[in-house]
Structure 1
Amino acid sequence: MYEGKPEHHFTFGLWTVGNTGRDPFGNATRAPMSAPYIVEKLAKLGVYGVNMHDNDLIPIDASAHERDTLVHDFKAALENYGLKVPMATTNLFSDPTFKDGAFTSADARVRAFALQKTMGSMDLGFELGAKTYVFWGGREGSEVDAGGKTLDGLRYFRDALNFLAEYSEDQGYGFKFALEPKPNEPRGDIYLPTVGAMLGFIATLEKSEQFGVNPEVAHDTMAGLSLPHAVAQAIDAGKLFHI
Structure 2
Amino acid sequence: MTDFFKGIPKIAYEGGDSRSDYAFRHYNPDEVVMGKRMEDHLRFSVAYWHSFAWPGGDPFGGQTFERPWFGETMELAKLKADVAFEMFEILGVPFFCFHDADVRPEGRDFAENTDRLKEMTDYFAGKMEQTGVKLLWGTANLFSHRRFMAGAATNPDPDVFAFSGATIKTCMDATKALGGQNYVLWGGREGYETLLNTDLKRERQQAGRMLQMVVDYKHKIGFEGAILVEPKPQEPAKHQYDYDVATVYGFLKEFGLEGEVKMNIEQGHAILAGHSFEHELAMAASLGILGSIDMNRNDYQSGWDTDQFPNSTLEAALAYYEVLKSGGFTTGGTNFDAKLRRQSLDPEDLILAHVGGMDVCAAGLKAAAAMLEDGGLEEARAERYAGWETDAAKAYLTSATLEDLETAVRSGPITPEPRSGRQERLENYVNRFV
Which range, TM-score by smaller chain? over 0.9
The counterpart of 1:92, out of the listed 132, 142, 150, is: 142
The counterpart of 1:141, out of the listed 188, 191, 211, is: 191
Preserved CA contact (<8 Å) 1:131 1:176: yes
| Deviation for aligned residue 1:152 | 0.9
- For residues 119 and 243 of structure 2, the distance between their equivalents in structure 1, rounded to whole angstroms, comes to 38
Residues 103-140 of structure 1, C-alpha deviation per residue, up to 9 Å, x if partnerless?
A: 00111111011000100110011111112111110101
- For residues 29 and 4 of structure 1, the distance between their equivalents in structure 2, rounded to whole angstroms, comes to 34
- What amino acid does structure 1 have at the position aligned with 2:290? L
Aligned to 1:36: 82
Q: Does 2:64 match 1:26?
A: no
**Pairing 1:83-232 to 2, within 5 Å after superposition:** 83-232=133-282
| Deviation for aligned residue 1:141 | 0.7
| Structure 2 counterpart SS, 1:86 | strand
Flag structure 1 segments of 5+ consecutive residues without an equivalent.
none
Evaluate the alpha carbon distance shift between residue 139 and residue 174 of structure 1 in structure 2; reply closer, same or farther with a 3 A threshold: same
Q: Does 2:26 match 1:2?
A: yes
Preserved CA contact (<8 Å) 1:20 1:28: yes
| Deviation for aligned residue 1:59 | 2.2
Preserved CA contact (<8 Å) 1:11 1:50: yes
Evaluate the alpha carbon distance shift between residue 89 and residue 66 of structure 1 in structure 2; reply closer, same or farther with a 3 A threshold: closer
- What amino acid does structure 2 have at the position aligned with 1:55? A
Flag structure 2 segments of 5+ consecutive residues without an equivalent.
1-24, 30-38, 70-79, 294-434
- For residues 238 and 120 of structure 1, the distance between their equivalents in structure 2, rounded to whole angstroms, comes to 29
The counterpart of 1:59, out of the listed 102, 105, 116, is: 105
- For residues 134 and 72 of structure 1, the distance between their equivalents in structure 2, rounded to whole angstroms, comes to 21
The counterpart of 1:16, out of the listed 50, 60, 63, is: 50
- What amino acid does structure 2 have at the position aligned with 1:216? E
Preserved CA contact (<8 Å) 1:199 1:213: no
The counterpart of 1:74, out of the listed 124, 131, 143, is: 124
Q: With structure 2 as the length reference, what TM-score do the two structures score?
A: 0.53
| Deviation for aligned residue 1:68 | 4.3
Preserved CA contact (<8 Å) 2:252 2:258: yes
Preserved CA contact (<8 Å) 1:234 1:240: yes
- For residues 89 and 196 of structure 2, the distance between their equivalents in structure 1, rounded to whole angstroms, comes to 49
| Deviation for aligned residue 1:74 | 2.1
| Deviation for aligned residue 1:217 | 0.6
- What amino acid does structure 2 have at the position aligned with 1:178? L
Evaluate the alpha carbon distance shift between residue 98 and residue 171 of structure 1 in structure 2; reply closer, same or farther with a 3 A threshold: same
Q: Does 2:287 match 1:237?
A: yes
- What amino acid does structure 2 have at the position aligned with 1:40? E
Give % identity: 30
| Structure 2 counterpart SS, 1:51 | strand
Two-structure CA RMSD over aligned residues (Å): 1.8
- For residues 209 and 110 of structure 1, the distance between their equivalents in structure 2, rounded to whole angstroms, comes to 28
- What amino acid does structure 2 have at the position aligned with 1:90? A
Q: Which has the higher contact order (CA 8 A, sep 6+)?
A: 2
Preserved CA contact (<8 Å) 1:183 1:194: yes
- For residues 54 and 4 of structure 1, the distance between their equivalents in structure 2, rounded to whole angstroms, comes to 32
Residues 192-239 of structure 1, C-alpha deviation per residue, up to 9 Å, x if partnerless?
A: 301110111111234432201111111110121121111011111110
| Structure 1 counterpart SS, 2:202 | helix
Q: With structure 1 as the length reference, what TM-score do the two structures score?
A: 0.93
Evaluate the alpha carbon distance shift between residue 76 and residue 233 of structure 1 in structure 2; reply closer, same or farther with a 3 A threshold: same
